[in-house]
Amino acid sequence: MLAVNTTSVLAKDSQPSVVGQATIASIAPEYAGTLHQKREDAAMKKWRANRIGQFFHFGLYSILGSEYKGKRVEVGEWIQNTQRISKEEYSKLLKQFNPTEFNAAAWAKMNKKMGVNYMTITTKHHDGFCLWPSKHTDFSVENTPYKKDIIGPLVKEYTKLGIDVTLYYSVMDWNHPDYRVRINSPADKQAMERYMKYAIAQLDELLTRYPEAKSIWFDGQWDPAYKSQPEWGWKLEKSVRRKHPNIIINNRVRSDAHANLDRDMSGQHYADFDSSFERKLPSDTSTELPKADWEACYTIMENGWGYSKQLVGHLKDSKELVEASAKCVSRNGNFMINFGPKPDGTIREYELNLAKEIGQWMKVNGNAFYGAEGVPLAKPSWGYITKKKEKRYLILFNKSKETNIQVPFKADNIVKVRVLGAESISIPRTVEDNGMAQFDISKLPQASIAHVIELSLKK
């Protein structure tokens, strides 16, 4: 028998347990995941219906543009860490941060046209630099030549256009004097406890300044010190909820008493949704839909979230991004596309162009995503299926390969078929022996991204 050595963090009324014999639920329940079923309140339903989001990584690292001393790095926002730039050296960037062309209304307008329904902005990334004038630190936009708040205007302009705002907050902090990667002494633990008070105070400050924010997106929860004390993340989550009861929080806020990240050892996610699909999507071989809410986020290059002067390697195009969106929605997930604004506060041409192309597509076909969900059916060879009430959306990416497509719905149940944005094109239907429908799509022209066929089923 293996005794659990974490009794100090067990709930007061629980018994010290035994790994391997006790039920998993009896282990450290106080710090286990709390989301036993999907949240069904109005705020969460809205978050879920949003489906498509924009992510922005903007900060001091944007100035370097993923280059240091003539060398290119793959992941721009990690440059301080990977290039071993000292705090002193890195903080000299404060004197250079001056995004004079930053225009929150222009960002919001771009995103409105792109058809995204929420936006996540890095209020503080791992480097610790704050894009709002925080009263708890000097390491903020207030002490740059720019001086002005970046977050406030974003919250205001996006909210005005009906786009929800999520505040990204990194728990990891390479600047704060009390932050510890590891705890090697009681003094380290005390320092990290002071740091946790700082993080709680900053989140309180953010939610006081920007009460319109709908969600907090935590990140950087994997350092050994933070993981080793699950009550820190638990307190952080509780304090945010106390301040803003409807807030939506991703699962990167915590670990359990066994230092498990994303999910506790019983497989239960922390907080409200699973954000562990970073630069990857779940497999689509299963017909079963995920039980928890989830979100994936994608970079435009293979990797790198902050601005990179050079765009290198495979760059995702609008088709790849719409296809990833379709895949997420068809499995009940949200999808967030990351841009890394330039140090002057503007958005690069390549990203503006993506926003434009995606927006043109969403304007015609967005109904297949917004407020939609997946169906528990095998992924068809030609693309993806989503649904909304009695509507089913067939999103065709691989049209060139097929003239007839199998449609996994009974022909008798289909009362109407139309191609979004091309209503004049008729889709001849036949019925297979098993009663399922087959569509002849040979009259559909090749789409630049994808055609969507909307079916109305009998109620």
Other C-beta atoms closer than 10 Å to the C-beta of 324 total 17
Q: Which residues in 218-256 are b (16+ Cβ under 10 Å) and which e?
A: bbbbebebbbebbebbbbbbebbeeebeebbbbbbbbbb
Q: Pick between residue 102 and residue 174 the one whose CB is nearest to ligand H79.
A: 174
Extended beta strands in 176-236, E state:
215-219
Least distance CB 261 / ligand H79 (angstroms): 11
CB of 218 to ligand H79, least distance (A): 10
How long is the chain?
459
How far is it, in rounded angstroms, from Cα 368 to Cα 217? 26
Q: How far is the CB of 433 from ligand H79 (least distance, A)?
A: 49
Shortest CB 250 distance to ligand H79, Å: 10
x/- map, 214-253, ligand H79, by CB under 6 A: -----x----------------------------------
Return the residue of 56, 61, 68, 78 that touches ligand H79, per CB under 6 A.
Answer: 78
Q: Is the dihedral of CA 77, 83, 87, 89 positive or negative?
A: negative
Element (H, E) at 182: none
At residue 225, φ and ψ (nearest 5 deg) are -60, -50
Task: Give the residue with the Cβ less far from ligand H79, 32 or 337.
Answer: 337
Smallest gap from residue 354 Cβ to ligand H79 (A) = 18
Burial classification of residue 276, based on how many CB atoms lie within 10 Å of its CB (0-12 exposed, 13-18 middle, 19 or more buried): middle
Task: Pick the closer one to ligand H79 by CB: 232 or 305.
Answer: 305
Phi, psi of 408 (to 5 degrees): -80, 45
Which of the stretches 17-25, 76-84, 233-241, 280-288 binds ligand H79 when contact is defined by CB under 6 A?
76-84
Rounded Cα–Cα distance for residues 448 and 219 (Å): 36
Q: Which listed residue (15, 82, 190, 353) binds ligand H79 by CB under 6 A?
A: 82
Binding residue (CB under 6 A) for ligand H79 from 49, 75, 261, 281? 75
Classify strands 333-339 and 373-374 as parallel, antiparallel or unpaired.
Answer: unpaired
Tell me the residue type at 122.
Answer: T
The stretch near ligand H79 (CB under 6 A) out of 73-81, 376-384, 408-416, 439-447 is: 73-81
Q: Which token pair is 20?
A: 């391997």
Pick the stretch among 75-83, 147-155, 192-200, 207-215 that binds ligand H79 (CB under 6 A).
75-83
C-alpha 88 chain-centroid distance: 32
- Closest CB to ligand H79 among 52 and 417? 52
Of 90, 305, 384, 393, the residue at the interface with ligand H79 (CB under 6 A) is 305
In the complex, least distance from residue 301 CB atom to ligand H79, rounded to whole angstroms = 12
277 touches ligand H79 (CB under 6 A)? no
Distance in Å, CB of 365 to ligand H79, minimum: 27
The count of residues interacting with ligand H79 (CB under 6 A) is: 9
Strands 294-298 and 333-339: parallel
Across-strand partners of 119? 54, 165
Task: Describe the crossing of helices 230-243 and 186-209 by its angle, rounded to 10 degrees.
Answer: 20
Q: Identify the residue among 278, 317, 373, 402 touching ligand H79 (CB under 6 A).
A: 278
Which residues would be at the binding site for ligand H79 (CB under 6 A)?
57, 75, 77-78, 82, 219, 278, 297, 305
